[in-house]
Structure 1
Amino acid sequence: MPSIIDVKHVNKAFGGLTVIDDCSISVERGSITGLIGPNGAGKSTLFNIIAGALPLDSGQVLLDGEDITNLPANQLFHKGLLRTFQIAHEFSQLTALENLMMVPPNQLGESLFSTWFKPGQVRARETEVRQRALEVIDFVGLNHVRNELAGNLSGGQKKLLELGRTMMTDARVVLLDEIAAGVNRTLLGELITNIERLNREMGYTFLVIEHDMDMIARLCDPVIVLAQGRVMVEGSIEEIQNNPEVIEAYFGAGAA
């Protein structure tokens, strides 16, 4: 399959410290690609560069062949590239359902003119958005807490809600940032199932940073390993787990 994300010869330094060093990766369309590596490997920095949260120093990032180098996150959102966060970013004083309804851009109700002069169209659009939100909240298994304030949800439920928010847009690529962090095993199973369904049924492409190797093993193929800001190796999880260089990078010489 052709790639949907291409990172080409990217460099990033903070002061005199090089964090990303001539790094190139490709993410195939329709894949669930894992991005792993030891602490300090540059995973989060590369992730933030792709997501538009950090400018790169040199190199190029392409989305489906389009140059998106250094575009901010809000522009990437409209191009179908979204991210979730290790710590969920919910609107705590809105209900779970209202959190989903906030996502679609350019809603008519945001315009004072439309509110005054096109109330019928505003109501129709709100009904459409609400119906979509109800479908999404059922999909992610949160229907029983749809009217609960999002700030009262558990950590795992907030992660499910974040995943649901990606479904309220025309997402093409979703960057998942340690989505398993702080999630109990039951809800983690639900998260994994939903990610697999979004990939299989709706064609979402995922790039996943994760320390939970069981989750990576279940979800991701291929897996890219970063070390010292460069790609060390790429392959199946079995190839990665049996690679002596990877074992040394994670555990030190002699760990095998």
Structure 2
Amino acid sequence: MTTDLVIDVRSVTKRFGGLLAVNNCSLSVKRGSITGLIGPNGAGKSTLFNMVAGNIVPDSGQVIFDGADVTGMKPYQLFRIGMLRTFQIAHEFSQMTALENLMMVPGDQPGEHLVSTWFRPGLVKSRETEVRKKALDVIDFLKLGHVRNELAGNLSGGQKKLLELGRTMMVDAKVVLLDEVAAGVNKSLLNDLAGNIERMNRELGYTFFVIEHDMDLIGRLCDPVIVMAQGEKIAEGPMAEIRANPQIVEAYFGTPVEVA
């Protein structure tokens, strides 16, 4: 059953020993949106993000993905049903080219099975050609053609982030979780990265859930923006409203400040 909510987090709680990291928190991500998640250090946003991504199992509550309860599912299981994640530090195959990195993404390719390589070489070749064409289309979309044959380990931090974004385009993603996408990226490439996220959302219908410390990037990309503090959701709305709310600013920065 298709719903308007791709992600629906329901009253999740997580403790680490005596530390209550997330406290009965609920939030949602609408299909077709770029939803941001912000908060001060220790707010619980990374823990919540990891519970959605399947890296941490909540002590209580539910994570609903595309109408189904996926609480406790592993990241590889979520990948198979359309939830993909990028990381603050890009996870590329450094000794493979940018193009080969993209071609590695689609799962269950015939060439992965020894029997198919022996007895169904035509099928293996056909699928490889199909995946290569898709990878080349992604590289063109992201304007990475000049580094397609470069070893991924030699790419800049920003190019690696673009490559990781491209990997999410190699499968049918229902939502992409972006973890600190601005980290380690220079301003020029960050502008390219943001532009590609906007294009993927606008032209291809991708839904994004973004955790990020760069408020300018959040302000550019995200609507709505969800604010967490002390393990709880305290606000949600457009970035202009978030910036203009003195209570939110105080919770975020620790002291009252003037907001332009």
TM-score, normalised to structure 1, is 0.98
In the other structure, the counterpart of 1:107 is: 109
In the other structure, the counterpart of 2:205 is: 203
In the other structure, the counterpart of 1:31 is: 33
Quick one: which amino acid aligns to residue 184 of structure 2?
A: G
In the other structure, the counterpart of 1:9 is: 11
SS in 1 for 2:56: coil
**Structure 2, unpaired ranges of 5+:** none
Distance 1:187 1:253 in 2: 33
Q: How does 1:143-162 map to 2 (within 5 A)?
A: 143-162=145-164
Quick one: which amino acid aligns to residue 141 of structure 2?
A: F
Deviations 1:59-111 (A, max 9, x none): 00001110000100000001100000000000001000000000000000000
In the other structure, the counterpart of 2:222 is: 220
Q: 1:91 aligns with which of 90, 93, 110?
A: 93
Distance 1:131 1:81 in 2: 23
Report the Cα offset of residue 253 of structure 1: 3.2
In the other structure, the counterpart of 1:251 is: 253
Partners of 2:246 and 2:256 within 8 A in 1: no
Deviations 1:124-157 (A, max 9, x none): 1101101110110111111100011000000000
Distance 2:42 2:61 in 1: 21
SS in 2 for 1:39: coil
Distance 1:155 1:254 in 2: 35
Distance 1:11 1:250 in 2: 21
In the other structure, the counterpart of 1:182 is: 184
Distance 1:23 1:5 in 2: 13
SS in 1 for 2:223: coil
Distance 2:256 2:230 in 1: 20
Distance 2:92 2:4 in 1: 34
Q: 1:72 aligns with which of 64, 71, 74?
A: 74
Report the Cα offset of residue 164 of structure 1: 0.1
Partners of 2:246 and 2:257 within 8 A in 1: no
In the other structure, the counterpart of 1:60 is: 62
Deviations 1:26-50 (A, max 9, x none): 1111000000000110111111100
Deviations 1:157-205 (A, max 9, x none): 0000000000000101000001011101111111111101111111111
Deviations 1:219-239 (A, max 9, x none): 000000000110010011011
State the identity %. 69
Report the Cα offset of residue 244 of structure 1: 1.3
Q: 1:41 aligns with which of 40, 43, 46?
A: 43
SS in 2 for 1:4: strand
TM-score, normalised to structure 2, is 0.97
**Structure 1, unpaired ranges of 5+:** none
SS in 2 for 1:231: strand
Alignment RMSD (CA, Å): 0.9
Distance 2:102 2:42 in 1: 34
Distance 1:192 1:247 in 2: 24
Quick one: which amino acid aligns to residue 171 of structure 1?
A: A
How many pairs align?
Answer: 256
